[in-house]
Structure 1
Amino acid sequence: MTPKLPPRRLLAVAAALALFGGQADASSPQVPPAHPTAPADQACPLGSFHCAPRPLNYAMCRPNALLEFYDPSLGRDTSLRETSPTLVQAQHVDSSNRSVYHLSGEVKLQRADQQLQAERIDYNDQNTDYDARGDVRYQDAGQLLAASSMRGNTDASRGVANDVRYQMLDARGNGTAGQGQMLDAQHTRYSQATYSTCDVGHHLWEFRAKSITINKETGVGVARNATMRLGNVPFLYLPYFSFPVDDRRKTGFLYPTIGHTSRSGYEISTPYYLNLAPNYDATLDPRYYSARGAMLAGEFRYLTPGSRGQLNVEYVPDDHGKSDGLADTKGDSRYLVKFADSTQLWKGWQFVGSYNHASDSSYLYDYGDALSHSAVYTLASNATIAGGGKWWNASFGGTIYQNVNPFVTDSSLPYKQLPYAKFSMDVPLSRWLEFGVDSSAVAFRKTGFVEGQREDLYPYLEADFGSSAWFVRPRLGYRYTAYQLDSSYRNYGYYGLLGSGATTPFDQQSPSRSLPIVSLDSGLVFDRSATLFGNSYTQTLEPRLYYLYVPYRNQNNLPLFDTRTMSFDYWQLFSTNQFSGADRQMDANNLTAALTTRLLDDGGVERVSASIGQIHYFSPQKVLGTDWVRSAYVAQLDVQLSERWRLDSAYQWSPNTRLTDLAAVQLQRRLSTDGILNFSYRYRRGLLEQYGASVVYPVSERWRLVGAWTYSVKDRESVDALAGVEYDSCCVSLRLVGRSYVNQSYYGFGPAPTGGNTNHRDNAVMFEVVFKGLGSTGGQIDPLLRRDILGYQ
C-alpha cells in the first residue's frame, strides 16, 4: 500500500536522518555525484607563456564508487522539499495507536531529493520521536548514509545511529563510524570513525579518529586522537586535526614542505593558516634549515571595499650558516619584509604602493633562490598615486631600490626616482584624427653618480585613414627633454667638447634637447582562398612601408639616468626609438619595408604567420653610432597547422657584417592531453648560444615524468637541469623534483664566490604531496615547472 501523509510529518524523519547535515544547499544548484575531470579542451594552448593550473583531477576514481544503495533516478532539487508530499511505501502499516505509526517490511519514504529506507520505522506523531531499525539507508542531493539502526527526535534535530557508513556526494568525503550522533541541526559527532576522499572501499589514505565532529555552519570537521594512514600503515599521529567539508576557507595546519638546497641544507616548513574573517586572513610558517637554523615566516592578507594588500615577513633570529657574498652574516639576525597595497582614494584615483627590504644583500641568495625562484638582485619599493579618465592617465610617486646581489656593491643599482610624475593623454579630434601627449618629470638620485631632474614632453598629432584592405597613418610629434643637474655635475665629467673632433665646449648645468619626430605608416591587405594538405584556408599578403624622420642632435652633454639600447627585433622595424628611457633619442631618416603572409582557417584562427622586413637608412645613425645603409634582415615564422604541433622562430642576418645576429627556434609537441615536449635554440651574437629541451611525459594514467635542460655552448656546460616525477591517483598527488643550475644571474656581475661554491653550481630537491580534498604543501614546485617547461599544467 502507498498512503500519502502530510508533508511535514514523516518527512521530518528523513530530514533528521541526515547525520552529516546534507551537504546540499537549497540556494545553490546541485551537480550530480560524479568525478570531475580536466577535459582535453582545457589543455593549455600551444605557445602560451602562462597556463592556468590544472584542477584537481578525479578521473582515476572509479565511476561507480558509491554506496550500493545509491539511486540515480532520485531528484536533486532541494528547493522542492517544503512543498512536496511524502510518499510512503511499506508492506505493513499499523496506526491503531493514533499517535504512533508502525511501518514494517521494506519501508521507503521519499520526498523531493530525500529517500529513507529501513526494515522497520516507528514514528510518534505527538513528540516526533522516531526509531528506524534494520538496514537503514538514507540518500539526498548531498550524501548517502547507511546504519544498522537509528533513533532520535525530529523537532530537536537529535539522533543516534549505529554502525554508520557515509559518503558526501559533492565533497567526496566518506568513511565509517561505530556510532553517529546528531547534536543539533548544525553539529554532528562520530565515534571510532574514519575519513577519506578516496573511493569507497579503496582508501589509499585515511585518518582514523576516536571522534570526528562536523560543523555545518563553519564547513569544518575536527578529528581528535587521529592517526593518518597510508594504506594500513600509520605514519602520523594527530591529537587534534581540522579539515574542510566544503569549499570554504578554514583555520588549521597546511601540509608540511620538505626540501633540500645546497646553501641552506634540509628544510622543513609547517605552515598554519588562520581564517580570521571573510576579508582578511594570515598564515604562520615556522621553518627549520639544517645549515642555518630556525626561521619564522608569516603572511597577512586583507580586502576591504576600498583597499587590498598583503604583508609577508621572514625572520631568522640567529643564522649559523656562512655566506659566499661580500658581507659576513654568520651569527646575525636576518629578515625579509614585503608589503603591497592598493587603495581607492576617490573616483578614478588610487594609491598603489609596495615596500620590499632585506636585512642584507645575501638574504635572497641564501634563502630565496632555491628551487622555485629565479635569481633576484634588486628589490624595488614604490609609492604611487595614479588616476585616469576616458582620454588621460596620470601618476605621481617615487621608487627606490635595494641591492640583493651579494657579489657587487650598490653602484650596480638603478637610479632612485624621488619623486616622479607622469601624464599621458589621447584625445580624438575627429573620426580619423587624434591628439596625444606623453610627459614625465623625474628626480634621479644615486650616491657617487651625477644627480638631477629631467622633464620629458612629447606631444603628437596622429591620423588614421583606411579600411580593411589598406591603411595610412601619418604622425607628427615633437620631443623636448630638459635637465637640471645638481651643483656637483662637473665632478662627473659633464663638461668638455661636444663629440669627437668638436671644438665647441660645453659646461651646462641645465642641458636640453628638442627635435621633431615624423613618421608615416602604410600598408595593404590582400587575401585569397588557398588549400594546404587538403584543408581550406584564407591566405593574406600584407606589404607594409614605414618611414621615420628624426633629425640628429648631439646628446653627449646629457646624462644616462635610466636609458639603455634595446635589443633589435621585428617590432624595432616600426619603432621611433631604439633606446629605452628619455635620455637618448635616436636620429633617423629611414624607410622600413616589410611583408607578412598569414594562413587563417575557417574559424579565423591564425595557423601560419610569416614576416620579413628590413630598414633602409638614407643617412648614418649618429646617435647609435652606425653608418650602415641597411639594417639586418629580420624574419619571423610561426606555424601551428594542428593542435599537436607548433613552431615559433625568429632570424636576423646582417648584410653589413654578413653574420647572423640572432636565431631562435621553439618547437612544441603535444603529448596526449596532459603532456608536452619542447625544444629550443637561442643565439645572440656575442652574448649567448643555448640549446634547451623540456618535457612533461605521461608514462601512464597515473605517472608523469618532468624534465628541463639548458646547455650553453659558450660555457660548454649545462647551466640548468631539472628532473622529476609526478604521481596522480584518485585522491593523492605526489611530486618529487630536483634541480642543478649555474647561478649566472649572480655570478655574472662580480667576482666568483669562495668556499664550497667555487663551481658556481647550486642544487635543490623538493617533495610535495597533495591529499585531495584536504589541502597541499602550498605548491612551491608549481612556479618552477611553469617557468622552465613551456605549456606546463
Structure 2
Amino acid sequence: MQIRYFLALCLLPQYVFAQDANVPEEKPQLCFVEPPVSSSLNERESLSGINKSDIVIISDSSAATMDDKAHFRGNVSFSQGSRHIAANEAILDQQNQQLNANGDLIFQDELFTVTADSLEAQMSNNSANLKGAEYWINGQQIHGEAKQLEITSNNNLILSGTNFTTCPPGDESWLLEARKIRIDSNEEWGEIWDAKLRVADVPIMYIPYMTIPVSDKRKSGFLFPSFSTSTTNGVEISVPYYWNIAPEYDLTFTPDYMTNRGLYTKTEFRYLLGEQQNGQVNVEYLGKDNKLNNNPDRYLLHFSHQGAIGDNWRVRANYTDVSDNNYFNDLNSDVNRATDNQLSRIGEASYFERNWDINMRVQDIKVLGEDELPYQVMPQLGFNYRQTDIWNTIDFKFNSEITNFRHQDNQFATATRLHMAPSLIYPIQGPAGSLTSEIKLLQTQYWQNASILNPDLDDTVSRTIPQARIHGQINFERPAMFFEQEYRQTLEPQIQYLYVGYQDQSRIGIYDTAQLQEDYYGLFRDRRFSGLDRIADANQMTLGFTTRFFDETNLEKFKFSVGQIIYFEESKVLQDNIFQEASKSTSVLAAELDAHVTDNWFISGAIQHDTENGKNKKNEVTLDYRPSNDKLLQFSYRYVPDLLNTNTNDRVNISQAGVRTSWPLTDDLYFVGNWYYDLNEHRSIETYTGFQYESCCWGVRLSYHYRIKTNYDDDLSEIIDGREEFEKGIYLNFVIKGLGGSGPIGVEDMLDEGLFNYRKPLYLRN
C-alpha cells in the first residue's frame, strides 16, 4: 500500500522540442483575465500619416508654454510607437523630457498592460515609474499588484512589493507574494526574490529565489522538486535540473533519492539535426538497490533517432537496454511503462524513388521475462520495384530481400535468406466493383548453419512456389427505412480464390515466422504466416460480405462484416514442422460489428467461431454510452481460449469483463474509474477510481489504484524479497497553474492509466 503526494510547481514550461507524433497535445483550461482598455487606445490608429517614432498627444483641453511645460486634461492619450498612456491629466516637461500622468491611468505596450495611481516617465531613455499599480501580462493568465512598478529603458519590468496569480480577480486560490520581481522582455523570463506562496490565503512555502517563464521560451535552471512517500520506496524527493544547452540541444538531469532503494538518477538529452531529424538519449542508474537482498546495480540505456536526409533518404534508429527484466515494474522510468515487455533495437535507412526503393535494416528484440531469445537481423537489404501499365494495363511488382539471421546462443542455427517475388497484376476497377488478378513466383534460397538444437537443417535449400490470386468485390446500394428513418444501405460481397503451391519446408529453420490472426480482414490475405520461413500451400476460396447504413448526411451508422474460407485441399505446411493433413475443411467464421445504435449509444464487437467444432475461438464486445464529449460509460468483455502463457508455457483461457467511466459531476469536478474482473480466476485484476477538480488556476486529483503486478523471472529472482502479486496505492496530485505550465492534470490521461487503455468506441467512415 502506498500513498503519494505530489506538488507540481513547474518553473519551466512544458516545452516542445522533438516532435512526438504518438502523443496528442492536451490543451489546458485557460481563463484569460482581460486587462482594461481605454477608449482612446484606437484614436492614434484613426490618424493618417503618423510615423511610429512620433509622439502623439490627444486630449479634451490643453495649455502649453513654449519650451516649458504643457498641461493636458480630459481623456488624455499619449502614444509613441507601441507604447500608449491614457489618463485624466498629464503634464509634459519639455525641457527635462519628463511626463507625469494620473487619474484613471492605463499604460500599455506589446508585453504588458498596467493601471496605476500615478506615472512618471522619462522620454529621453523610454523609462517610467508607476505607483499603486495593477499589471497584466498580455496573452497570459498572469496578473498582479505592485506598490511600485518600473519600466526600464530596454523595456524590462521591475516590480517592488508585488504579487501575482493566474486566478480570476476576486479568486485568491493561490497567490505568490514577493519583495521584488524582474521581468526581462527580451529573454521573456521573470526573476523573483523573497517569494511566499499562499494557498487559500494560508502561507505554505517560502522561496528565496526563483525564475518563471512569461512565454514558451526555454531557460536553464532547476525545476521545482517533487516529494512523495510510499511503503515501497520510502520517502522520495527529486530535484530536476534543466539545461538549455543550445537551440538544438537540451538536457534534463533528475536525481531521485528513495530512502528504501537509494539514489536513482535519470538523464535525458535531446537534440535536433536541422529541420528534419531529431533524437534523444536516456541514461538511468540506481546503484546498489537497497530494496533487494543482494543490492544489485540497476540501469537503463536508451537511444532513438528519426528523420529525413534530403528528399529521398529516411533514417530511423532505436535502442533500449535494461539491467533486469523487472526494471520497468519496480522503477518509474521515463522511457517505458510497466506494461511494456519488448525492447526494440533497430537501425534502418531507406531510399525512395518514384518506381523503386531500397532499404537496409538491422534488428534485435529483447523480450522481458522470456528465456528464449528471438533471432537477430544482422543485416537485411531490400529492393522493391513497381511499374504500372507495363502492357495492356498490367502492373508489375518485384519485391526482394536478403537477410542474415544471427543468434546470441550458439546452440541455435544461423542462416542467410535470399527471397525474390516478381508478380503481375491485372486490376479492373470501377464504381460498381473491382476484380484483381495476380500471379506471383516466390523464390527463396537459404544458406544455413545447423546446430545442436537444429541438427536436421540442410546447408542449402532452394524453394520455388507459384501463387495465383483472384479477388473480386461488387458494390450494391439501395434506399432503406428503419424506425422511420431514411438510410442508404450498401451490400459489398467479395470473393477470393487463392492458390499457393506446396513444397516440403521441414529442412528450413524458423527465424522470423509466426501465425497471423484470423480476423475478418485476415481471411482475404494471401498468406497464413508472417515472415518467409513458412509459406503455407493453399487451394481455397474466401467468401464474405460487408453491409453498411448511411444516414441522410452520409455518416456511417452501421457496419457488419462476415466471412469464411473454404478449403478445397487441406494445407500440409504447419509452423511446428509437423506435416499432417488437417481435418478442417473451413476456417473460423469471422464477423465484426460497429454500430451507432442511437445518438448516445455505440456498440462494437468481433467473433471468431469454429463452425466444425461449434466453439468460439475469440469473442470481444464493447458497449459505449457517450451523451457528450466529456461523458463516457463503457462496458467491455473479451474471451480468448487456449492462449499460451509465455511465462509458464501453459495454455490458459482468458475471460474478462470490465467497466470504465469518465463523468463530470460539476463543471470543474470529474470522476474517472474503471474495474476489470477475471471470470475464470474469480478475482478483480484492476480497479482505478479518481476524482479530479480543475479550475483555470489550480487543480487537484485524488485516485486509488489496485492492479495485478507483472513480475518476470530474471537474474535477480534469487535475491528478490517477496514481490507482491498485486499493487495498490492512493495518489494525490496538486497542481498550481501559471508557474510554468498546466502540470499533469487532465481527464484523458486518467483514461489511459493502468493495464487496459481506453479504446474509442468505433471507427466508422464519414
With the length of structure 2 as denominator, give the TM-score of the two structures: 0.86
Q: Which amino acid aligns with 1:360?
A: D
Structure 1 residue 383, shift from structure 2 partner = 2.0
Q: Which amino acid aligns with 1:673?
A: N
Matching of residue 388 in structure 1 with residue 360 in structure 2: no
Matching of residue 583 in structure 1 with residue 533 in structure 2: yes
Structure 1 residue 592, shift from structure 2 partner = 0.8
In structure 2, the residue matched to 1:477 is 440
Residues 289 and 458 of structure 1, relative CA distance in 2, 3 Å threshold: farther
Matched residues in 2 for 1:750 and 1:473: separation? 56
Matched residues in 2 for 1:210 and 1:575: separation? 71
Matched residues in 1 for 2:46 and 2:225: separation? 39
Q: Which amino acid aligns with 1:484?
A: W
| 1:173-188 map, 5 Å | 173-188=142-157
CA deviation string 1:521-553 (max 9, x = no partner): 001101122233444332111111111111222
In structure 2, the residue matched to 1:375 is 339
| 1:291-440 map, 5 Å | 291-305=260-274, 307-322=277-292, 330-342=294-306, 344-345=308-309, 347-368=311-332, 373-402=337-366, 404-405=368-369, 408=370, 411-430=371-390, 432-440=393-401
In structure 2, the residue matched to 1:208 is 177
RMSD of aligned residue pairs (Cα, Å): 3.3
Matching of residue 679 in structure 1 with residue 635 in structure 2: yes
| 1:281-680 map, 5 Å | 281-305=250-274, 307-322=277-292, 330-342=294-306, 344-345=308-309, 347-368=311-332, 373-402=337-366, 404-405=368-369, 408=370, 411-430=371-390, 432-446=393-407, 447=409, 448-486=411-449, 489=450, 491-495=452-456, 508-624=458-574, 626-641=582-597, 644-680=600-636
The secondary structure found in structure 2 opposite 1:483 is strand
Matched residues in 2 for 1:280 and 1:593: separation? 56
Structure 1 residue 86, shift from structure 2 partner = 7.4
In structure 1, the residue matched to 2:733 is 768
Matching of residue 735 in structure 1 with residue 696 in structure 2: no
| 1:676-715 map, 5 Å | 676-687=632-643, 688-715=654-681
The secondary structure found in structure 1 opposite 2:331 is helix
Structure 1 residue 569, shift from structure 2 partner = 0.8
Whether the 8 Å contact between 2:590 and 2:609 is mirrored in structure 1 is yes
Decide which of 93, 100, 114 is 2:62's aligned counterpart: 93
| 1:58-73 map, 5 Å | 58=30, 61=31, 66=34
Q: Which amino acid aligns with 2:317?
A: G
Whether the 8 Å contact between 1:190 and 1:212 is mirrored in structure 2 is yes
In structure 1, the residue matched to 2:123 is 154
| 1:147-296 map, 5 Å | 147-259=116-228, 263-296=232-265
Residues 768 and 390 of structure 1, relative CA distance in 2, 3 Å threshold: farther
Q: Which amino acid aligns with 2:382?
A: K
Residues 450 and 51 of structure 1, relative CA distance in 2, 3 Å threshold: closer
Structure 1 residue 144, shift from structure 2 partner = 3.1
Residues 372 and 648 of structure 1, relative CA distance in 2, 3 Å threshold: farther
The secondary structure found in structure 2 opposite 1:560 is coil
Matched residues in 2 for 1:79 and 1:558: separation? 87
Whether the 8 Å contact between 2:656 and 2:679 is mirrored in structure 1 is yes
CA deviation string 1:330-375 (max 9, x = no partner): 4333321111123645551243222222233442232147998242
Whether the 8 Å contact between 1:513 and 1:553 is mirrored in structure 2 is yes
Matched residues in 1 for 2:689 and 2:130: separation? 51
Q: Once structures 1 and 2 are overlaid, which stretch shifts more, 333-342 or 424-433?
A: 424-433
Matched residues in 1 for 2:184 and 2:487: separation? 59
Residues 290 and 145 of structure 1, relative CA distance in 2, 3 Å threshold: same
Matched residues in 2 for 1:642 and 1:224: separation? 59
Q: Which amino acid aligns with 1:737?
A: S
Residue ranges of structure 2 left out of the alignment (5+ in a row): 1-20, 575-580, 644-653, 762-766
Residue ranges of structure 1 left out of the alignment (5+ in a row): 1-48, 323-327, 496-506
Matched residues in 2 for 1:78 and 1:277: separation? 44
Matched residues in 1 for 2:585 and 2:66: separation? 110
Q: Which amino acid aligns with 2:363?
A: T
With the length of structure 1 as denominator, give the TM-score of the two structures: 0.83
Residues 70 and 757 of structure 1, relative CA distance in 2, 3 Å threshold: farther
CA deviation string 1:744-793 (max 9, x = no partner): 574799999964335x212355443443333358649865633623359x
Q: Which amino acid aligns with 1:739?
A: H
CA deviation string 1:659-678 (max 9, x = no partner): 11221111222243312221
Q: Which amino acid aligns with 1:722?
A: Y
Q: Which amino acid aligns with 1:610?
A: F
The secondary structure found in structure 1 opposite 2:642 is coil
The secondary structure found in structure 1 opposite 2:452 is helix
Q: Which amino acid aligns with 2:281?
A: L
Aligned length: 716
Whether the 8 Å contact between 1:260 and 1:766 is mirrored in structure 2 is no
CA deviation string 1:185-228 (max 9, x = no partner): 33111111111111123231121111111111111111111112
Matched residues in 1 for 2:604 and 2:360: separation? 40
Task: Give the structure with the higher percent helix.
Answer: 1
Residues 350 and 595 of structure 1, relative CA distance in 2, 3 Å threshold: closer
Whether the 8 Å contact between 2:264 and 2:284 is mirrored in structure 1 is yes
Q: Once structures 1 and 2 are overlaid, which stretch shifts more, 433-442 or 257-266?
A: 257-266
Q: Once structures 1 and 2 are overlaid, which stretch shifts more, 700-709 or 249-258?
A: 249-258
Matched residues in 1 for 2:680 and 2:230: separation? 27
Q: Once structures 1 and 2 are overlaid, which stretch shifts more, 596-605 or 608-617?
A: 596-605
Q: Once structures 1 and 2 are overlaid, which stretch shifts more, 221-230 or 737-746?
A: 737-746
Q: Which amino acid aligns with 1:52?
A: P
Matched residues in 1 for 2:687 and 2:714: separation? 19
Residues 480 and 256 of structure 1, relative CA distance in 2, 3 Å threshold: farther
Whether the 8 Å contact between 1:260 and 1:765 is mirrored in structure 2 is no
Matched residues in 1 for 2:513 and 2:332: separation? 29
Q: Which amino acid aligns with 2:453?
A: Y
Whether the 8 Å contact between 1:307 and 1:341 is mirrored in structure 2 is yes
Q: Which amino acid aligns with 1:700?
A: T
Whether the 8 Å contact between 2:67 and 2:95 is mirrored in structure 1 is no
Q: Which amino acid aligns with 2:609?
A: W
Matched residues in 1 for 2:387 and 2:403: separation? 25
Matched residues in 2 for 1:741 and 1:370: separation? 21
Residues 746 and 362 of structure 1, relative CA distance in 2, 3 Å threshold: closer
Matched residues in 1 for 2:516 and 2:316: separation? 28
Identical residues among aligned pairs (%): 27
CA deviation string 1:85-133 (max 9, x = no partner): 9775545422024442112355344789875333431113354311113
Matched residues in 1 for 2:639 and 2:43: separation? 63
Matched residues in 2 for 1:358 and 1:368: separation? 13
Q: Once structures 1 and 2 are overlaid, which stretch shifts more, 71-80 or 199-208?
A: 71-80
Q: Which amino acid aligns with 2:591?
A: A
Residues 740 and 121 of structure 1, relative CA distance in 2, 3 Å threshold: same
Structure 1 residue 83, shift from structure 2 partner = 5.5
Residues 470 and 721 of structure 1, relative CA distance in 2, 3 Å threshold: same
> Would you identify which runs of 4 or more consecutive aligned residues in structure 1 move more than 6 Å?
75-81, 84-87, 110-114, 369-372, 747-754
